[in-house]
């Protein structure tokens, strides 16, 4: 009976920090002739928050779906704690990977509490017979599930709305509920697909706090996001996906500096374009930006780490504005 693990704060299979939890090797996903994801390697270690960014259509969500068993990768394999994941999404969840969706997929006509109880499904065992006969075991398990669900609702701050229909919740709270529902399956790794899409800055900050709190519970997190400020604050490591391929992986500073990343987000001048002076101008500007970035990096290295944290948002400000409108098309 896994239902006994009701105490909050200890993930059921908390691992020693630094151990590789998720290991995706050479994941390739083809839809007919279209290769959406090409040979992506990604590891997530326990106690880590890893970000996955990239322009629209880069294959981030497809990659997510490969990890969670919604898609079966054409090539490559995904291991969770050393075991190859089965290609069924409910088995992946049972193995310990929980996810949220880019476009919120709550059970709209169930109450908030019921939504979280559905998340407990893999960690409870009572089947039809137990439900029909209603022995003492049934009541015990049901009570334990309820208690754990209420704990989780308290954790995300929705306990006072447990009896509301989930469709009646405001947008931000629906996101929180989705996270609570995912946490209900006691995961070792939580995949968040654009958790702050459509949120205002305050809500984004609250989500950030929430994700840190989840990390502190010993759950590793892989997050897709377009909000650069958010991702750079949050993540220990960031991987950039462009046109289905992993461009670069590293800490946020490295990724921010990388010219290919900037080019991928802002667009590269394509060769043979009319007006070579313009191209030259762009190149000059790029070189300048690079020099600037280098100078900044040197300055940052010279100075303490706190200043780096402060300037990172500034450097990303223009990138963010470019990426944000694209989000709407994605949903």
Partner 1 sequence: MTTQTTAPETPSAPTTRNEPTGLIPLPEHIGRALATGGALLTAASTFLAWTWTSAFPGDLTVHGYPGGLQVLVLIGGVLTALFALSSYGIKGLGWLTPAGADAAIKLTALATFATAWYTVLAISIELGGVVNLEPGGYLAAAAGLTALIGALALPFEHPAPDPIDPDDSRWEQFKHKTAHRWETFKAVFATGTARPAGKLPSYAEILIIIAVMAIGLTVFTYGIGTPYSELFIGFLITVGLCFTALLKAGLMARISAITAKHRNITMIGAFVAAAAFPFTQSDDQYATIGVYILIFATVALGLNIVVGLAGLLDLGYVAFLGVGAYTAALVSGSPSSPLPIQVPFWASALLGAFVAMIFGVLIGAPTLRLRGDYLAIVTLGFGEIFRIAVLNTDGTSGPDVTNGSNGISSIPNINILGFDFGQEHTFLGFTIARFANYFLLMLLITLVVVVVFRRSSDSRIGRAWIAVREDETAARAMGINGFRVKLIAFALGATLAGLAGAVQAHVTYTVTPEQYMFAHVVPPNSAFLLAAVVLGGMGTISGPLVGAALLYLIPAKLQFLGDYQLLAFGLALVLLMRFRPEGLIPNRRRQLEFHENTEAPAVLSKAGV
Helix (H) or strand (E) holding 147: helix 136-156
Q: With binding defined as CB under 8 A, does residue 89 bind partner 1?
A: yes
Q: With binding defined as CB under 8 A, does residue 205 bind partner 1?
A: no
Nearer to partner 1, 191 or 253 (CB): 191
Classify burial at 37, counting beta carbons within 10 Å of its beta carbon; exposed 0-12, middle 13-18, buried 19 or more.
Answer: buried
For 190, phi then psi, to 5°, come to -115, 125
Q: With binding defined as CB under 8 A, does residue 110 bind partner 1?
A: yes
CB of 125 to partner 1, least distance (A): 9
The closest of 65, 50, 63, 55 to 231, measured between CA atoms, is: 50
Q: 73, 42 in Cβ contact below 8 A?
A: no
Q: With binding defined as CB under 8 A, does residue 99 bind partner 1?
A: yes
Query: Any idea of the CA torsion for 204, 208, 210, 216, to the nearest 10 degrees?
Result: 180
Q: With binding defined as CB under 8 A, does residue 293 bind partner 1?
A: no
CB of 78 to partner 1, least distance (A): 15
Q: With binding defined as CB under 8 A, does residue 131 bind partner 1?
A: yes
- Enumerate residues 6+ apart whose C-beta is below 8 A from 319: 228, 262, 265, 266
CB of 194 to partner 1, least distance (A): 15
The SS3 of residue 151 is helix
Q: With binding defined as CB under 8 A, does residue 1 bind partner 1?
A: no
Q: Please report, for residues 42, 70, 300, the alpha-carbon distance to residue 310 in angstroms, rounded to integers and kept in the order given.
A: 28, 39, 10
Binding segment toward partner 1, per CB under 8 A, in 39-47, 163-171, 208-216, 302-310: 163-171
According to CB under 8 A, which residues from 180 to 199 bind partner 1? 181-182, 185
Binding segment toward partner 1, per CB under 8 A, in 19-27, 76-84, 160-168, 315-323: 160-168
Nearer to partner 1, 191 or 264 (CB): 191
Query: Any idea of the CA torsion for 297, 303, 305, 308, to the nearest 10 degrees?
Result: -40
Helix (H) or strand (E) holding 78: strand 75-80
Compute the half-sphere exposure of residue 294: CA atoms within 13 Å on the CB side of its CA.
7
Separation of alpha carbons 60 and 225, rounded Å: 9
Helices (H), 184-325: 201-216, 228-234, 252-257, 259-266, 276-302, 305-323
CB of 183 to partner 1, least distance (A): 11
Q: With binding defined as CB under 8 A, does residue 124 bind partner 1?
A: yes
Nearer to partner 1, 30 or 121 (CB): 121
Nearer to partner 1, 182 or 231 (CB): 182
According to CB under 8 A, which residues from 46 to 65 bind partner 1? none
Nearer to partner 1, 110 or 217 (CB): 110
Q: With binding defined as CB under 8 A, does residue 145 bind partner 1?
A: yes
Q: With binding defined as CB under 8 A, does residue 237 bind partner 1?
A: no
Separation of alpha carbons 171 and 280, rounded Å: 46
Binding segment toward partner 1, per CB under 8 A, in 19-27, 72-80, 101-109, 305-313: 101-109
Nearer to partner 1, 126 or 208 (CB): 126
Residue ranges in contact with partner 1 by CB under 8 A: 68, 70, 88-90, 93-94, 98-99, 101, 105-111, 114, 117-122, 124, 126-128, 130-132, 134, 138, 141-142, 145, 163-165, 167-168, 181-182, 185
């Amino acid at each position: 009976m896994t239902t006994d693990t009701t105490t909050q704060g200890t993930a059921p299979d908390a691992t020693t920090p630094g151990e590789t939890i998720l290991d995706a090797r050479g994941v390739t996903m083809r839809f007919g002739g279209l290769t959406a994801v090409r040979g992506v390697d990604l590891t997530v270690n326990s106690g880590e928050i890893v970000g996955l960014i990239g322009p629209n259509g880069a294959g981030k969500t497809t990659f997510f779906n490969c990890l969670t068993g919604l898609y079966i990768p054409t090539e490559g394999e995904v291991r969770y704690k050393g075991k190859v994941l089965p290609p069924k999404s409910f088995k992946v969840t049972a193995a310990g990977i929980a996810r949220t969706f880019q476009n919120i997929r709550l059970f709209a006509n169930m109450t908030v509490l019921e939504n979280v109880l559905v998340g407990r499904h893999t960690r409870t065992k009572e089947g039809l017979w137990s439900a029909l006969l209603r022995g003492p075991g049934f009541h015990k398990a049901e009570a334990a599930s309820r208690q754990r669900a209420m704990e989780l609702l308290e954790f995300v701050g929705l306990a006072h709305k447990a009896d509301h229909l989930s469709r009646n919740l405001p947008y931000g709270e629906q996101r929180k509920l989705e996270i609570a529902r995912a946490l209900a399956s006691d995961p070792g790794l939580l995949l968040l697909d654009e958790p702050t899409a459509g949120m205002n800055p305050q809500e984004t900050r609250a989500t950030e706090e929430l994700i840190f709190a989840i990390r502190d519970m010993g759950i590793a997190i892989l997050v897709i996001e377009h909000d650069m400020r958010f991702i750079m604050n949050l993540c220990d490591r960031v991987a950039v996906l462009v046109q289905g391929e992993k461009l670069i992986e590293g800490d946020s500073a490295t990724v921010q500096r990388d010219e290919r990343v900037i080019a991928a987000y802002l667009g590269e001048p394509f060769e043979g374009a009319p007006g070579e002076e313009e191209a030259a101008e762009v190149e000059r500007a790029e070189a300048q930006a690079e020099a600037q970035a280098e100078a900044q990096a040197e300055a940052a290295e010279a100075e303490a780490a706190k200043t780096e944290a402060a300037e990172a948002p500034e450097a990303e400000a223009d990138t963010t504005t470019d990426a944000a409108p694209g989000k709407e098309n994605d949903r």
